[in-house]
Structure 1
Amino acid sequence: MDALSAPLTVGFNHVATGTPDLDRIIAFYRDAFGATVKVEIPKGPEHPRMAIIDVGSGSAMNVAEVPEGSLVGDRARIGGRGPVDHYGLAAPSREALEVLLERIPAAGGEVGEITLLGGDTWSLFFRDPDGMELEVCAPAHVG
């Protein structure tokens, strides 16, 4: 297989999103997921205050603090969220998802149930403190 027939990427580097309360989102991902802030960038004349939140394995969330009115759409409804419907964080196991069932609500989010998706992935949908519905997935070792 030559280099051009394989993907030239190795996954996602980051997902960029916005929130009206950056401190609340940082606390939520720290308390629920054990995420850490790699860099916090103060508000400047050309950009909003933002944080790069390390969610593990080289992936990050770049979260900008934006005015409440700039978050458009129905963040809880598929098809109403804009061109990027949601993102899914990766977890190593179903056991990690079971821990998140307790941590997410304790950190200020809402959590659904763990379900089997496509026979090979455990899926847990949740809502962050801004009401955005997101997902955490883990490999299912069935059979």
Structure 2
Amino acid sequence: MATVHARTGCRPTGATTSTTDLDLLVVYYTEMLGAVLAFEQAATPSAPRGAVIDVGGNDHLMSVETATAPITDLAPLGNGGWGIGVATHAQMCEVRARILSDGWPVGQIEMLPAQWTMNRRDSDGRPVDIRAHRPRTASPSPGSG
């Protein structure tokens, strides 16, 4: 299962988004990225229809259905507004292959100093950064060198 983290400078236990098509958003995160629908609530006179998606790592994504399209701008640093973590480079390759086979566009896997990353947009067009941390290399001991 992929783990989703909102980019806010700290690791949240959840985040809330809006969508004009809650069913499509749930399908995207559950079928494409392996998350689990944890809870769904019908609309009431005082609250919109909503869903909580368990994205692993004790994190969740809550989304409410609205008539207004969500903001799909890039994050302040020009990259995805969400970070979806996968465990390994091999798992990232599997996720990329699944995205492509389902007909969705996705960027190439890029190697950065500490991680591999690729970018795509979710079903609402929000930018998503999918990444896997690279294995750490052993640091030389203080007495060696």
Q: Report the TM-score range of the alignment, normalised by the length of the smaller protein.
A: 0.7 to 0.9
RMSD: 2.3
CA contact (8 A) 1:108 1:129 kept: no
CA contact (8 A) 2:70 2:124 kept: no
Structure 1 residue aligned with 2:3: none
* Greater radius of gyration (CA): 2
- Is the CA contact (8 Å cut-off) linking 2:105 and 2:120 kept in structure 1? yes
1:29 corresponding residue in structure 2: 29
Tell me if the contact between 2:74 and 2:81 (Cα under 8 Å) persists in the aligned partners: no
User: Per chain length, whose mean CA-contact separation is higher, i.e. which structure has more relative contact order (CA < 8 Å, sep 6+)?
Assistant: 2
Secondary structure at 1:45 match in 2 = coil
User: What secondary structure, in the 3-state scheme, does the structure 1 residue paired with 2:25 have?
Assistant: helix
> Residues of 1 paired with 2:104 and 2:34: CA distance?
14
**TM score, norm. by length of structure 2:** 0.76
Runs of 4+ in 1 over 6 A off after TM superposition: none
Q: Could you give the per-residue CA deviations for residues 10-60 of structure 1, whole angstroms, max 9, x where no partner exists?
A: 932112111100000111111111111101011112221111001111111
Equivalent residue for 1:128, pick from 119, 122, 142 = 122
The alignment partner of 1:52 has SS state of: strand
Specify every segment of 5 or more residues in structure 1 that has no aligned partner in the other structure, as ranges: 1-9
**TM-score of the pair, normalised by structure 1:** 0.77
